[in-house]
Chain A
């Protein structure tokens, strides 16, 4: 049905366009006065009237057809079905839909078969009705639009206004997306907070969402913070020094090579980093931690192992995540360091400063807002990163300062709560949305602050 609709819309649209243009061309020949718009615009005008209502109805069909069929079918069901709970009824209807789709209901019982057949009938009715409606709409649109075509008809103005509306709506999709994110997160979170108090959620220290319905998210916040901290301890110095080297020391040729290669790090899919962490880094860290424990015991510095040395660890995830965010730090910092005017450097050299002194005491302070913004954006990226921590950080919610123990993060828990059986009335699933809301707010705060910082201090040298 989907492809049929798209094909129909295309056919209606092009037919209407040619009819409109032909009529306009006839007008062009028959009239003596000048026409306001070129024939093509008349064509577009008719096509607009032929397709826009049709598209709207088709969208309504895509959203409501199934519900309409189901509600009618529910009304016709035998009275014995009244005992089913809404969820059971939904899953029953879902199985009817599946059976109708594959026509494989041969082995099922007679009631089921009868219901499936009735479903197919109703669905066919809705489909035919929609098609007839679409045909009438298109024909009516073409008829009405054709009647308006006159030599002095301002077709171009109409078409261009319509086009501008479309452009505006496209830009509005951004707002709609944000609204969709905020509303869906808020709605499901509010459902969750009716069952679990927000205070317990934010400050509780026990997280056992899968088994015991304990929703204290503090260990997740801690794990997220810890791993992001490790990542930034890796990425901040490496990224910053790379940026300084690239912008102040490297020759243009070296820069032309090194910068794109560094940016490859940002283009590698995160699942690849996760696999790398799992395959190489986590075992290496475990081996190192075991060795450290043994050495400490051998030299009598400790009586029992100091480090947890678990197979997946916060350190492994943090290190690899640090590598991933290096380009976020280095590219942005590089840009802001380059934006520092040469006059500042020359002034420092004139006072006798060495190159490194110039960088440390003049260039970096001048570029500091931009550098801070880069670091904030990198932190936000690290907090929201999912695959690396899912694959390499572990799942146990605990608060531990030991970087070789496995910690869990907000994103890991969202993934493990949302994969597998998910019902949207289950506090387990809803808690994922509450976590998502926290994640969204925190990353948004980082971004807003970063953009503010950049904006506020950018004008300084322009």
Chain B
């Protein structure tokens, strides 16, 4: 470059033009970078929102109930065989409800509050305990600690995403006086100043017609609702516990922005759940039931076991059908097929099949398997066959690529020592291509595992409460369960759906990890 001779300096216009061209060059690079960041950002947002939702569903709150297994209730005369005990939901539920009523006697007052209290636990939540007692009949008559999941709305409340509230520590309440109408007058110097300020803030960002925000005051196990709040005194309607608990205490005030009628849980229920928590009877535990329970109409009891088993059964059928057919077809096309119009037609067919929308396979399954051949609806057998039709073109394409990668010298070598063509292929070529074939097959199966639409058309969307035992039982699969749960209106289903998505993604991750492992371990360059 040293002997470059510049004949003339660039003109000003040319220099300006060059500058613009370089700027454009720089911008172009940033367009590309932006595109990458948008795509990766979308992925990150997707994973983070679903992941954070799922994280909140990974644990849930359970309540402990110390109950005595009264034989008259649990195993009455004539219904005391283990099978009867394991079905005696009413009896166990009665024990739990009585336990709650003893803890919170004020709920006896009227029907509404009784119902609100019995909402704490659903009937079916006692079923595991009933089964446990049925297996250990010697427990009858003894005291046990029964654990049951908390109602989903209260669970969300304790996790802090059910109801918007602000917690404020008040000043010391110096005196508590009962009034004639059953309420109490709490007073203390500047005790409620912070609450008044908090109310002013809360008032700004709420709609005009939403009514007054509720203010709950909690001291220990006692909670009351505040009205007529001033800086130094307030009137309190006691919801649970004893009014004396507030004297000389610094209670916590909760400003709940939405009115009671707009919420799924009432003030009383909040008071009770806070009291239970204060008593140490509420635990936040990992939600293993997501993997050990089957579907339920109650979010706190729902799990994905039936769907996971259904998915495995479906995948088993898919693998048994798609893998042999796909691999053998690939062997034929790659090793034996003469180059003629028929072969070409088959190849065009395979390429087109790989791009047919999955829902069309669902229509085929509905028309062929269910309508024409009369196979059962909602069964993993039919689902697996439909997915097999969808998967085998993928397996063929991947297997052909793997077979193509085996060098011709291997074939020539085998043929030279006298092997027949069939022996060459099955003794030498296929074993060498096996890792590639296997990874292709696993990738095809991973795609089938996440597939939803065709299975909706063959009726796998039905509610399935039992774990399927055979490929012809009624069943559902993980993606369809996700779809069904996402249709449920209650808010508690959202985190559950996300958790189920994470379980599905974990399965996919394992399959893809296996592919990466196989590639690393067995990949060879010829």
Contacts and interface: CB of A to CB of B under 8 A. Distances in A.
Interface of A: 2, 63, 66-67, 156, 160, 163-164, 166-168, 170-175, 177-178, 180-181, 184-185, 187-188, 237-242, 244-246, 248-249, 258, 261-262, 264-265, 267-276, 278-280, 323, 326, 330, 354-357, 359-360, 377, 380-381, 383-387, 390-391, 411, 414-415, 418-419, 422, 424, 432-433, 436, 439-440, 443-444, 447-448, 451
Contacts of B337: 171
Interface string B493-511: 0100110010011001000
A173 B355 contact: no
Contact of B50 (A166, A180, A275): A275
B362 A323 contact: no
A245 B483 contact: no
18 contacts: A170-B325, A177-B389, A188-B367, A242-B39, A261-B40, A265-B43, A269-B479, A271-B482, A272-B46, A272-B450, A360-B28, A380-B357, A384-B359, A414-B359, A414-B363, A415-B359, A433-B367, A444-B355
Nearest to A384: B357
Contacts of A268: 46, 450, 505
Interface stretch (B189-197, B213-221, B274-282, B346-354): B346-354
Nearest to A446: B355
B332 A241 contact: no
A92 to B, nearest CB: 15
Given A170-B329, A436-B360, A177 B353 contact: yes
Q: Which of B34, B36, B449 has the most CB of A within 10 A?
A: B36
Contacts of B359: 384, 386, 411, 414-415, 436, 439
Q: Nearest 10 CB-CB pairs, A to B? A: A384-B357, A245-B32, A269-B450, A241-B35, A356-B28, A167-B332, A386-B453, A184-B367, A170-B328, A171-B329
B362 to A, nearest CB: 7
B253 interface: no
A164 B28 contact: no
A272 B50 contact: yes
A363 to B, nearest CB: 12
A97 to B, nearest CB: 10
Nearest to B393: A174
Contacts of A156: 420
Contacts, number: 257
Interface in B317-342: 324-326, 328-329, 331-333, 336-337
Contacts of A63: 373
B49 interface: yes
Nearest to A326: B39
B43 A264 contact: yes
Interface stretch (B17-25, B123-131, B159-167, B265-273): B17-25
Contacts of B449: 269
Nearest to B494: A279
Given A239-B39, A323-B46, 10 more contacts: A67-B374, A167-B328, A173-B325, A174-B346, A185-B364, A265-B42, A269-B508, A272-B50, A330-B39, A439-B357
B368 interface: yes
B132 interface: no
A258 B36 CA distance: 8
Given A166-B328, A175-B346, A270-B452, A160 B35 contact: no
Contact of B420 (A160, A280, A432): A160
Interface in B388-425: 389, 392-393, 396, 420-422
Nearest to B508: A267
A257 B389 CA distance: 33
Contacts of B482: 271-272, 275
A422 B366 contact: yes
B184 to A, nearest CB: 43
B121 to A, nearest CB: 28
Contacts of B479: 269, 271, 387
A323 B50 CA distance: 16
Contacts of A237: 35
Q: Which of B345, B422, B505 has the most CB of A within 10 A?
A: B422
B355 A443 contact: yes
B456 A269 contact: no
Contacts of A415: 359, 453, 456-457
A424 B371 contact: yes
Q: Which of A177, A267, A432, A451 has the most CB of B within 10 A?
A: A177
Contact of A238 (B35, B53, B331, B361): B35
Contact of A269 (B355, B362, B504): B504
A178 B353 contact: yes
Given A258-B40, A265-B43, A274-B483, A184 B453 contact: no
Given A173-B329, A275-B501, A436-B360, A163 B422 contact: yes
B504 A244 contact: no
A274 to B, nearest CB: 7
A375 to B, nearest CB: 14
B107 interface: no
B455 to A, nearest CB: 10
A385 to B, nearest CB: 7
A415 B360 CA distance: 11
Nearest to A167: B332
Q: Which of B352, B368, B393 has the most CB of A within 10 A?
A: B352
B284 to A, nearest CB: 24
B29 interface: yes
A419 to B, nearest CB: 6
Q: Which of A166, A356, A380 has the most CB of B within 10 A?
A: A356
Contacts of B512: 267
Contact of A278 (B363, B373, B486): B486
A2 B53 CA distance: 43
Contact of A356 (B25, B43, B50, B483): B25
Contacts of A181: 356, 360-361, 363-364
A160 B353 contact: no
A386 B363 CA distance: 13
Contacts of A238: 35, 38-39
A448 B352 contact: yes
A245 B33 contact: yes
Q: Which of A67, A174, A278 has the most CB of B within 10 A?
A: A174
B329 to A, nearest CB: 4
A19 B326 CA distance: 31
A274 B392 CA distance: 26
B453 A387 contact: yes
B32 A249 contact: yes
A1 to B, nearest CB: 11
B360 A418 contact: no
A43 to B, nearest CB: 15
B49 A279 contact: yes
Nearest to A245: B32
B43 A164 contact: no
B358 interface: yes
Contacts of A436: 359-360, 363
A241 B34 contact: yes
B8 to A, nearest CB: 16
A430 B197 CA distance: 65
Contact of B356 (A239, A279, A330, A440): A440
A280 B42 CA distance: 12
Interface string B36-62: 101110110110011001000000000
A67 B27 CA distance: 71
A265 to B, nearest CB: 6
B43 A272 contact: no
Nearest to A415: B456
Contact of A170 (B22, B332, B345, B367): B332
